[in-house]
Amino acid sequence: MTVSVDVTEDVPALVASAAALFAEDAGSHDPRMDLGWPDREGAPYYQDLVADDEALCLLAHADGVAAGHLIGRLLPVSPLRPDAVRAVLESMRVAAECRRRGVGEALVSAFVSWARKRGANELAVQAYAANEGALAFYRAQGFRPFEVRLAREA
């Protein structure tokens, strides 16, 4: 298994993994999510991220196939929390057939290393509250609840 940092030539694989994440995760947990967004808007969005020094785009490969992706970003320092240098794990997916083989851990490890090298002292990730598998995975990677976002119908 390998994790590629230079995905300039592999943006289509990144878009395909993101589209699968949208379908699998948001499709199960968010009826208002535009599941067609990656196919319509993903290529230019991810191409811009690949070129952005404040963003990280990773692709994992196992057995010669794309096994998953991770998108991370450095966030601007907030004047309300000036001592927090934050990096957010914006998006991550591991293909179902590649789970429990260390792919997710390798992606998160690369993200943590990247964030630390850029001075981050706080890492964040969001997951749907009903996605117990994702929550358990992130907890196993050292993430702990910090803020809770509640939503309701208007």
Q: 3-class DSSP state for residue 31?
A: coil
How many distinct structural domains can be found in the chain?
1
pLDDT at residue 6, as a whole number: 82
From residue 9, give the alpha-carbon distance in Å to each of 3, 36, 113, 130, 142: 14, 23, 23, 35, 32
Place of tokens 């002292």: 121
117 inside domain:
yes
CATH number at residue 68: 3.40.630.30
Give how far the C-alpha of residue 103 lies from the chain's centroid of Cα atoms, to the nearest Å: 13
For residue 150, is it within any domain?
Answer: no
Q: Is residue 154 part of a domain?
A: no
Domain annotation covers residue 145? no
In a domain, 70, yes or no: yes
Count how many Cα atoms sit within 13 Å of the Cα of residue 31 in the half-sphere of its side chain. 1
What single DSSP character describes residue 60? E
pTM (2 decimals)?
0.94
Residue 9 lies in a domain: yes
Q: Is there a contact between 111 and 89 (Cβ–Cβ < 8 Å)? A: yes
Domain of 29, in residue numbers: 2-140
The answer to whether the CB of 58 falls within 8 A of the CB of 86 is no
Mean pLDDT by 10 residues, the chain (154 residues): 87 95 94 95 96 96 91 97 97 95 96 98 96 96 94 92
CA distance 51 to 45: 10
Q: State the Rg of the chain over Cα.
A: 15
Q: What is the pLDDT of residue 1?
A: 83
Q: Alpha-carbon distance 91 to 138, whole Å?
A: 12
Contact 94, 138 (CB under 8 A): no
Q: Is the residue at 108 inside a domain?
A: yes
| pLDDT at res. 129 | 94
Q: How far is CA 141 from CA 49, 60, 82, in A?
A: 24, 17, 25
The answer as to whether 151 is a domain residue is: no
Residue type, 149: R
